Amino acid sequence: MHWLTDPLQFDFFLRAIAAVVLVSVLCALVGAWVVLRGLSYIGDAMSHAVLPGIVGAFLTGGNLLVGALAAAVLTALGIGAVGQRSGLKQDSAIGIVFVGMFALGVVMLSRASTFTTDLSNFLIGNPLGVTPGDLWAALGVTVVVGVLLTAVQKELLLASFDPTEARAIGLPVRGLNNLLLILIGLVVVLTVQLVGTTLSVSLLITSSAAARLLARSLKKMILLAALLGTVGGVAGLYLSYFLNTAPGATIVLVNTAIFLLALVLRRRE
């Protein structure tokens, strides 16, 4: 059993496991809604749309996370506004706002005289470089997101699948949609900082999609997505340790394999 215990002697590996577990739970909370509402594109879009906020904070000497969160909120509200006022489908609104925000970030970046590793690390992420402070931040965001989504679950379900009825009984459909988009943006920003863009999108989409194939209720889907993300994350970390491969990419491959297994099991039902 030494192969199981050897990596656990390193603090960075233990923190990486804790980060993967927290991020898996956090992504499952919003990933279920992303998959159910057909917003799978938004994870990758959000991770790029926060670039102007990151660059702006970098250029002004501010906190990169705060800048990213501000850009995420603006992006979420922009997506909601474009979709509601233009009549376009939400995927079109996501594409328009995301490309515009990303281009703004590139223009701002072109004005910078230097490009530090802090900025690139924020975009790339590294599960093995997680600090105790990062874990506390992830725990706090997980609690906040969980409480908010639990409080509006029934209303959000109705607004998602029968907006006409929701409006008829007086529910703030636009506000609920914007709240969901903002929470998705918050989760994406935090997870991108911890584990990088690729793994963030994988935990947000792949694990939730696999759970969607196997679960028959929203609650079970969220729980299963968190479990699958955790299993894939821990297994990927061990594989990366022994194979000396990139941890984030290895976890993504394991999550993809889990999704394919779920697909096979679903077809056999």
The model's pLDDT over 78-130, given as tens digits with 9 standing for 90+, comes to 877 887 776 667 777 777 887 888 888 878 877 665 555 455 555 556 677 78
- Tokens (6 digits) for 259: 């999704």
Residue 12 is predicted with a pLDDT of 85
End-to-end CA distance of the chain: 36
C-alpha pair distances (Å), 27 with each of 32, 80, 119, 203: 8, 21, 23, 6
Burial class (CB in 10 A: 0-12, 13-18, 19+), 219: exposed
* Spatial distance between the Cα atoms of 19 and 130, rounded to a whole number of angstroms: 7
Nearest-angstrom CA–CA distance, 118 and 128: 15
Phi first, then psi: give them for residue 35, nearest 5 degrees: -70, -45
Per-residue pLDDT of the chain (269 residues; tens, 9 = 90+): 676 777 778 888 888 899 888 888 888 888 888 888 877 677 777 777 888 888 888 778 777 778 888 888 888 888 778 877 766 677 777 778 878 888 888 788 776 655 554 555 555 566 777 888 878 888 888 898 889 988 888 888 888 778 888 888 888 888 888 888 888 888 888 887 777 766 777 778 888 889 999 888 888 999 999 999 999 989 999 998 888 888 878 888 899 999 999 988 876 65
pTM higher than 0.85: no
Q: How does the average pLDDT of the chain come out, rounded?
A: 81
